[in-house]
Amino acid sequence: MKKFVIYIFAVLSLAVISIFTANADSSYTIKNVNITAEPQINGDASVMSEWTVEFGNERSNGFECEIPIPSSPEYKFSSVVNISADIDSASASLSEEASTDIDGGFADYTYTLSESDSAIKVKWNLKCFGETHVFRLSYTLSSVIKNIDSQNVFYCNYIPESLSPLCENVTITVKLPSDCAGKDAGLLTSNNYKCRRDENSVTFTGGKTSGGAYIGISIPSDKFNSLPTYTTAPEGWTAGRITLLITACVLALTVILCLIFSKRIMIKLFVRSCRKNSYVEPSDTAIESVMQSLTPAEMLKTVTTDIYSEADLFIYTVLSLAKKGALILRKGVILPSGEGGKLKKHERTAVEFFTGEKAKSSAEFYKFINKFNRKVRGVSPFKCLNKKKRALCRKCFEIESTAETYDGIKFSTISEDVFKPGKISDADLIRFMFKENNSKTHVTDGLFTFREVYEDGFEEILKEKKHG
């Protein structure tokens, strides 16, 4: 058994070694890439690229690379002409597929070309084995220099992104027109290559890169003839990014509108559901159970999207506090009693309103109401995903629906009668509140004069803003 294990381990080790050896033998290394580009006054650019390639210990049929074709029209050249190639300073001839040697491959010291929408592929044909060779390619990019945003722009990708393995050393030199100094050339993009400005050239250097040598410079020269003119989006922006931004804005606007109108939608759904289904429990029982969790002001804020007056939440809080005994009416003046049990934050705020100095201006009351309303929480439609909150919210809507037929207390007496112990019940107050809010006739006397005070305060604030 021991010998068998050793045998299996040896076989696996040899397999792993052979795999790595094969990969190493079949690989090659791009030691140096030297590219020289020279813009012409007619908008063309002459390019010479030199690739020093070190091959592994397995037979290879040569080396290939690509001339990338930009997709953006403002950077795209019209054609590639005057293509020539050589290997180790020996001229290579363009070969057709039919020109093969006795082994069925392409003859040495030839090259082939193939073109797609994204690149022109160049293949140097040479049988290699553990050697280092220099592959050179010269060509002209037609109409590659453009006038973009009033600048003479020369943009080119000299090394394809798909190139593998890594290029150990890359040098790209752009020779400028005689009337343009290197220091005057503007750097638009360098793809993280180091840039050096010489007397009449700009040189870019980098290493350990697998491709994508995007180089863009502006050339401040008046010698160029009738260059194609383009106007682009702001720097760093593309059509895709602009489209993405517009899409994001539309989605954000949609979300905001949903948030704004979500409560209205939820209310409509609840009302529709409550009207279709019969009432599940007696009205007074439902009101009693709801008031263990919500105050009348919270119920009103939960159910309604619009209220008659912004002062209503405060008014119904005062009426509720009178029912609890936290506020009393003495000689026509509302005063805190010091009782009423545990109160919520907005209820305590309402009690404090009647403590101390009572002489408040309409403007001060307007500001107080806006502050008070922010403290009234209610049940948010988003919380209705919770089962208990949904049941609580549903009861509020059912109570509101039954309030339409309520006729127990007249509007004109509610604010006075609520201070008389035993005069009205909690259920009377709640049903009155919902019916009054949905009615076309609204109370204007008693506590409901707070509505008029609020409106007067609003007018005072407007006058103060107009006068400075």
Whole-number pLDDT of residue 19: 40
3-class secondary structure per residue, the chain:
CHHHHHHHHHHHHHHHHHHHHHHHHHCEEEEEEEEEEEECCCCCEEEEEEEEEEECCCCEEEEEEEEECCCCCCCCCCEEEEEEEEECCEEEEECCCCCECCCCCECCCEEEEEECCCEEEEEEEEEECCCEEEEEEEEEEECCEEEECCEEEEEEECCCCCCCCCEEEEEEEEECCCCCCHHHCEEEECCCCEEEECCCEEEEEECCECCCCEEEEECCCCCCCCCCEECCCCCCCCHHHHHHHHHHHHHHHHHHHHHHHHHHHHHHHHHHHHHHCCCCCCHHHHHHHHHCCCCHHHHHHHHCCCCCCCCHHHHHHHHHHHHHCCEEEECCEEEECCCCCCCCHHHHHHHHHCCCCCCCCHHHHHHHHHHHHHHCCCCCHHHHHCHHHHHHHHHHHHHHHHHCCCCCCCHHHHHHHCCCCCCCCHHHHHHHHHHHHHCCCCCCCHHHHHHHHHHHHHHHHHHHHHCC
Spatial CA neighbour of 114 closest among 64, 163, 78: 64
- What is the per-residue pLDDT for 225? 76
Integer Rg of the chain from CA: 42
Please give the CATH topology (third level) of the domain spanning 25-232: Immunoglobulin-like (2.60.40)
Q: Provide the pLDDT for residue 234.
A: 47
Cα distance from N-terminal residue to C-terminal residue, the chain: 100
Q: Where are the domains of the chain?
A: 25-232, 278-466
Cβ pair 293, 315 in contact under 8 A: no
Q: What is the 3-state secondary structure (H, E, C) of 3-22?
A: HHHHHHHHHHHHHHHHHHHH
Query: Does residue 138 contact residue 222 with C-beta atoms inside 8 Å?
Result: no
> How do 90-94 and 201-206 pair as beta strands?
unpaired
Task: Give the pLDDT score at 103.
Answer: 55
Residue 138, judged by CB atoms within 10 A of its CB (0-12, 13-18, 19+), counts as: middle
| Cα separation, 361 vs 354, whole angstroms | 14
CB 444 within 8 A of CB 353: no
- The C-alpha atoms of residue 193 and residue 213 are separated, in whole angstroms, by 8
The partner residues of 125 in beta bridges, in order of sequence, read 62, 110
One-letter amino acid identity for 228? P
Report the DSSP pairing between strands 110-115 and 119-128.
antiparallel
Three-state secondary structure of 140-201: EEECCEEEECCEEEEEEECCCCCCCCCEEEEEEEEECCCCCCHHHCEEEECCCCEEEECCCE
Averaged in consecutive runs of 10 residues, what is the pLDDT profile of the chain (468 residues)?
47 43 56 91 91 86 87 82 91 70 71 88 89 92 86 85 78 88 81 84 80 80 80 54 81 80 67 59 79 89 81 91 88 83 90 74 90 85 67 80 74 75 82 82 80 89 79
Q: So what's the pLDDT on residue 18?
A: 42
Residue keyed to tokens 């063309």: 44
Peptide bond into 282 cis (omega under 30): no
Determine the residue type at 3.
K
